[in-house]
Structure 1
């Protein structure tokens, strides 16, 4: 089982699409809402060097955005 973490905001459509994908495929994930918890934004910057959502961590891989990385993410999670 892969470890999936995603940094999100409620207004981010790409974040919603990724969470929908995970839920439809019954893939467990940990979500960090940076708008609700500013400390998550600090963690995101420390871990990725950026402040973009969604930032997706799958094990040791990092993806900035779901739509542009969808094929690679799906391959990793299948």
Structure 2
């Protein structure tokens, strides 16, 4: 199973949508709230080159945000990136 990491905030509707998609596929992920851990925003920006949330990484590869995650799903590419069909949903 791929390692999935998200950088999010608690108030972002796009963050919620990204997590809903991953949860619906039973994909475990690590969620870093950059409002609660402000130093992590700089890490997120260095890793992915963007300052907006969510920022999503699959096996350390920057995927982008919610729109890019859903585009991968629509194209039928997300499952192969995730190496998924099983797992437990959740965070940290």
TM-score category, normalised to shorter length: 0.7 to 0.9
Using structure 2 for the length normalisation, give the TM-score.
Answer: 0.73
Equivalences, count: 78
Using structure 1 for the length normalisation, give the TM-score.
Answer: 0.84
Does the residue aligned with 2:40 lie in a helix, a strand or coil? Answer: helix
Q: Which runs of 5+ in 1 are unaligned?
A: none
Query: Runs of at least 4 residues of structure 1 off by over 4 A?
Result: none
Within a 5 Å distance, the mapping from 1:18-29 to structure 2 comes to 18-29=18-29
Q: Which runs of 5+ in 2 are unaligned?
A: 85-92
Query: Which protein, 1 or 2, shows the higher relative CO under an 8 Å CA cutoff with sep ≥ 6?
Result: 2
Please, which moves more after superposition, 67-76 or 4-13? 67-76
In 2: Cα distance, 1:50 partner to 1:22 partner? 21
